């Protein structure tokens, strides 16, 4: 069965996170996802907080920018969380937003090489291996974790373009597709990932649920327009741009509860193992209001 998740955006103040995490768990979601944006709360600190505030829901960190994370030290952090909360930690890495990485002096010459070396080293360290790496960016001289986790967490990458997706299929346990991920983009991404072993696909989806479906779609128009302006492979898969309401319907989980549930099921049929709702608007969201949608999506 497809897993259902919910994003708590980093714009919320850190002190609000424990209550929000409990609300996500109480609402019945399978997963709670966080991410690490500049210059908001750190991803490891918020993940640890969300784990401590809950008892069942899995916590995904999607994503940490690889350019600012030393492979050995981030593996130590992940291992500690995985030992204290077995089976509930889902960390992810990505390239980092290029402008932010330049702003802090951490933009690598090769984003692909850095991400591949980081993910490979972290996975090996978490598996309890002694790692000797002499890569372009990751250099480890006989490093082994003293406290590797008994239950090794999966490592995800959050990527969107062709070469990065292929990299994810080679080195990661799963891929996170950010919003907006249309059905055609998911199919296109799966072909590029081309994993030869089990590989979990997590799809983030803009979400606006409203008894007035037209109002819900109208609320997503600015996001769709911005994505079209920015461009990229996801924008290319939005299809005909003449009807913004139709684009909004393809770009997220949007509309009445019944329409949203149908969208979630369609994402699962396209290959998503997990659909993670990114609420729009981002603030003042009543997580409890998603109960009806979860029931409909699960057919219970």
pLDDT in tens, 49-81: 999 999 999 999 999 999 999 999 999 999 999
Locus of tokens 């609402």: 27
Within 10 angstroms of residue 34's Cβ, the number of other Cβ atoms is 26
Q: What is the pTM of this model?
A: 0.96
Separation of first and last alpha carbons in the chain: 12
- Structure-block tokens of residue 32: 């709670």
CATH code of the region 1-158: 3.20.20.30
Alpha helices by DSSP H, listed for the chain, are 17-27, 43-53, 71-84, 98-103, 111-126, 162-171, 183-193, 213-230, 233-236, 244-251, 257-270, 291-298
Q: Comparing C-alpha atoms, which of 219, 227, 300 is closest to residue 261?
A: 300
- Average pLDDT on 25-29 reads 96
Residues of the chain with CATH 3.20.20.30: 1-158, 174-300
| % residues pLDDT > 70 (the chain) | 99
Residue 210 has pLDDT above 80, yes or no: yes
Report pLDDT for 280.
87
Are the beta carbons of 131 and 118 closer than 8 angstroms? no
CA 180 – CA 234 distance, rounded (Å): 6
* Of the options 3.20.20.30, 3.40.630.30, 3.90.1150.200, 2.102.10.10, the CATH number for the domain spanning 174-300: 3.20.20.30
**pLDDT at position 285, please?**
77
Q: State yes or no: pLDDT of 117 exceeds 90.
A: yes
Q: How far is CA 201 from CA 69, 81, 246, 267, in A?
A: 23, 22, 25, 11
**What pLDDT is stored for residue 284 in this prediction?**
66
pLDDT of residue 282: 73
Least confident of 49-63, 102-116, 222-236: 222-236
Averaged pLDDT, 121-146: 98
Segment 81-103 mean pLDDT: 97
Q: How far apart are CA 252 and CA 263, in angstroms?
A: 8
- Burial label for 110, CB within 10 Å (0-12, 13-18, 19+), is exposed
pLDDT category of residue 165 using cuts at 50, 70 and 90: very high
């Amino acid at each position: 069965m497809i897993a259902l998740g919910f994003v708590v955006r980093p714009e919320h103040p850190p002190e609000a996170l424990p209550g929000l995490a409990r609300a996500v768990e109480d609402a019945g979601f399978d997963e709670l996802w966080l991410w690490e944006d500049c210059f908001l709360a750190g991803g490891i600190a918020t993940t640890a907080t969300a784990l401590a505030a809950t008892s069942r829901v899995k916590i995904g960190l999607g994503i940490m920018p690889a350019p600012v994370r030393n492979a050995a030290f981030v593996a130590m952090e992940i291992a500690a969380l995985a030992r204290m909360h077995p089976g509930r930690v889902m960390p992810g890495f990505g390239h980092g937003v290029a402008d932010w990485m330049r702003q802090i002096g951490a933009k690598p010459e090769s984003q692909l090489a850095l991400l591949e070396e980081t993910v490979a080293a972290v996975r090996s360290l978490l598996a309890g291996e002694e790692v000797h790496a002499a890569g372009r960016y990751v250099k480890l001289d006989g490093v082994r974790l003293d406290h590797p986790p008994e239950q090794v967490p999966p490592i995800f990458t959050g990527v969107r373009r062709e070469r990065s997706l292929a990299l994810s299929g080679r080195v990661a346990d799963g891929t996170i597709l950010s919003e907006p991920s249309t059905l055609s983009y998911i199919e296109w991404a799966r072909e590029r990932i081309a994993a030869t072993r089990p590989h979990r696909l997590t799809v983030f989806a803009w979400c606006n649920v409203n008894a007035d479906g037209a109002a819900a779609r109208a609320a997503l128009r600015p996001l769709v327009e911005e994505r079209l302006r920015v461009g990229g492979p996801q924008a290319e898969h939005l299809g005909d741009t003449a009807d913004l309401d139709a684009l909004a319907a393809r770009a997220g989980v949007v509309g009445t509860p019944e329409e949203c549930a149908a969208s979630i099921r369609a994402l699962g049929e396209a290959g998503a193992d997990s659909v993670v709702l990114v609420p729009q608007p981002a603030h003042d969201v009543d997580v409890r209001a998603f109960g009806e949608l979860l029931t409909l999506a699960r057919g219970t």
